Structure 1
Amino acid sequence: MSAATLVPTTAPDTEEEADLRATARDIARRCRDTAGEDHSGCWSALDGAGFTQLREADEDGSPLATATMTAIVVEELAGAVCGAPLVGALLAGELARLAGASLDAPATVLLTEDLAGLTVDGTGLAWDAGPPLRHALALSGHDLLVVDLGDPTGTQDLSRSVARPSGGTRRLAAGPSADALGRFGSFARLLLAADLLGTAGRLFADAVEYAKQRIQFGVPIGSFQAVQHLCGRAYAEVEALRSAVITAAWALDAHAEHRETSLVAKSYAARTGVEIVEHAVQVFGGVAITWEFPAHRHLRRALLDAEVFGGAEATADALLALVDQEATDGPE
């Protein structure tokens, strides 16, 4: 049976995945309720649930949780626009595991200045570097380094900080192999696609509920054809994005064509994630452009997520180059 035959559909979560989603959703709900700048309580809840260690190595070297489970947690927390640096910590844990190393303390990753990928010279910008993360993993030549970070600063994404190296470094291990770095890139693209699914999908769900309740001219605005068209298109985009994320996660777990599926997921997410949020903003109308309303936080997160580890055009070009290379090389 071919690998394509085994690709999953958007079927419901397994019982274990449903329990994991319920726990993550509860933490996300509490985060939404507090809606403050301090997310230390969210981090403590995530750490207590073991979510910050999902990709650390088990006894046999495999990750403690599957890529599918990890994507579920990221999606749920993104729906609350949670500011705890979960994705950065998961990426650092994955990079350390692939290098056969372990971390003494949670860290994030050092990226290039445009946030398009891992740095290769030990310099750059640490992304998702909010408290309590004070270190970042960085590639430099053939080494994997732990880099001390300076004070975090804000970005257009109000839920995430960046930080620059403060000067202190130490060698952690030899850098991962080329194949391992390829898997890391696929995992990183998956997490960003899942984050976009979460932040866009949650705001869209809220917009649908708003359309049922907001009354204009004596009827709910959801009865207007224009609003129905907006919601219908956004729904189709959310479900297509969900399918792309599920497939990319499955490919990593099944050791299948993870590069192709992750590039498809990230390229599609980078474009449609922003579009879904924009559709939701249109449904909400004028209230959505006020500072007090959360829509702008979702939009800011989606706009920056779209560029991290490659924007829509860059990932689409990488996918086309990969397809051309495979066509030239022929079947193995």
Structure 2
Amino acid sequence: MESECRLKGNISLIMEFMLLGFSDLPNLQGFLFGLLLIIYTGILIGNGLIIVITTVDPGLQTPMYFFLGNFSFLEICYTSVTLPRILTDLWTEKRNISFLSCATQVFFILILGVTECFLLSVMAYDRYVAICKPLYYPLIMNYKMCVWLVIGSWIIGIPNLIGLTYQIFSLSFCGSNKLEHVFCDIPPLLKLACGDISFEEYSIYVDAGLFGMFPFLFIFGSYAKIIATVLKVPSAKGRYKAFFTCSSHLMVVTLYFGSAFISYLMPKSSHSSATEIVLSLFYTIVTPLFNPLIYSLRNKDFIVVMRKLLPKCVGLIRP
């Protein structure tokens, strides 16, 4: 289905886009729908379980688990911006998305992506204070500070990203309205833009550096100090415990930042549309699926609480 266009002079205003991400796999539509539905259900259950556990268990009322609960809520929001739409397109085989819906989706992807970068930075700072300044930890990471750090992570990028979204969707999209992607994202949109887009690309690199590279460098610096402090611990058991505590967070940081940087910072001509789709699905879907597994299965406190809660939940379900 071609886009509806309004012609004004020589300018064609695209009113909707076509998402062609899985259209070249007609025989796998049902399989992909089932697979992605299972993944989405797993994300909701896994991250929802972390939210519940960190909220109801008194032993987990610490800054680390407060941030983890907020991070799991963010992951649910992040995935819900893209996956329900992808599932709908696979089920109905209607891949058109209106211009406004596409802009809205891009805006929320940007906001939630920036929030994730800064929330991961906050979690790294929490580990830095806990390990490098343990005596001051209760004073520095008090409840009020934790709340403000979370609020700041959510709102810090909103004004600038509103401007970036407006800038992207103010471009002239000439000719084709077919996005070779499974959801609206900046790299495939720029491929459809006509005219000189060097300023928009420059803006994207600046925002990526400000809201992506800066948090990454902050995390890197925090862990450099953490490692330096841990290596001074005389006990091998103490060093292992400190490294083990940080390893889950480091795994999530590597998964998210690695795929996001490759997708947004590499030149758009350096990788194919299929590669872009895989990378985008990785940091928007696969990473949120793995996060509960990484944090819960490697955390003794979570395992203990789940062993206490699951029998109670089963008892409530039984008639």
Give the TM-score taking structure 2 as reference length: 0.27
Q: Select the structure that is richer in helix.
A: 2
Q: Select the structure that is richer in strand.
A: 1
Higher RCO structure, 1 or 2 (CA under 8 Å, sep 6+) = 2
Quick check: which has more Rg, 1 or 2? Answer: 2
